[in-house]
C-alpha cells in the first residue's frame, strides 16, 4: 500500500511524505503507482523548477519527501491539488493508497 502523509502547521502543509508500493499490479504495470508517482513528481517540479520556491525534495527507493516552510499561497495551492488528486485515487483504489493529514 502507498501511504501519503501531509503534515500541516497551522493548517499549512510544511511536509509531504509518500512511501510504499501500491501492489495493484506487477512492477512496471501498476497504474496506481504510476498515477501517484506522476502526481508527486509534477508537484515537486512545480514547486522547485516552475515557482522557484524553497522546497527540499528527497527521494529514495520507495519514498519521496517534500519539505516546505516558506508559506505562501502558491505552494499551498499546489499541495492542495496534490491532496485532491491522491484523495480521488484513494477513493477509487482504497486497498492500494492511503492519504492522511497530521497537524505538527
Residue-range definition of the domain harbouring residue 80: 2-103
CA distance 27 to 25: 6
Q: Tens digits of per-residue pLDDT, 15-48? A: 999 999 999 999 899 999 999 999 999 999 999 9
CATH code for the domain in which residue 88 is found: 3.30.70.1490
Q: Provide the number of structural domains found in the chain.
A: 1
pTM for the complete prediction?
0.94
Q: Tens digits of per-residue pLDDT, 38-92? A: 999 999 999 999 999 999 999 998 899 999 988 889 999 999 999 999 999 999 9
Amino acid at each position: 500500500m502507498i501511504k501519503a502523509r501531509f503534515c500541516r502547521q497551522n493548517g499549512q502543509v510544511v511536509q509531504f511524505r509518500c512511501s510504499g508500493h501500491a501492489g495493484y499490479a506487477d512492477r512496471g504495470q501498476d497504474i496506481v503507482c504510476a498515477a501517484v508517482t506522476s502526481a508527486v513528481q509534477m508537484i515537486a517540479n512545480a514547486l522547485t523548477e516552475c515557482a522557484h520556491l524553497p522546497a527540499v525534495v528527497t527521494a529514495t527507493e520507495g519514498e519521496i519527501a517534500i519539505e516546505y516552510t516558506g508559506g505562501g499561497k502558491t505552494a499551498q495551492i499546489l499541495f492542495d491539488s496534490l491532496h485532491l488528486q491522491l484523495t480521488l485515487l484513494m477513493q477509487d483504489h482504497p486497498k492500494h493508497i492511503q492519504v492522511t493529514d497530521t497537524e505538527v
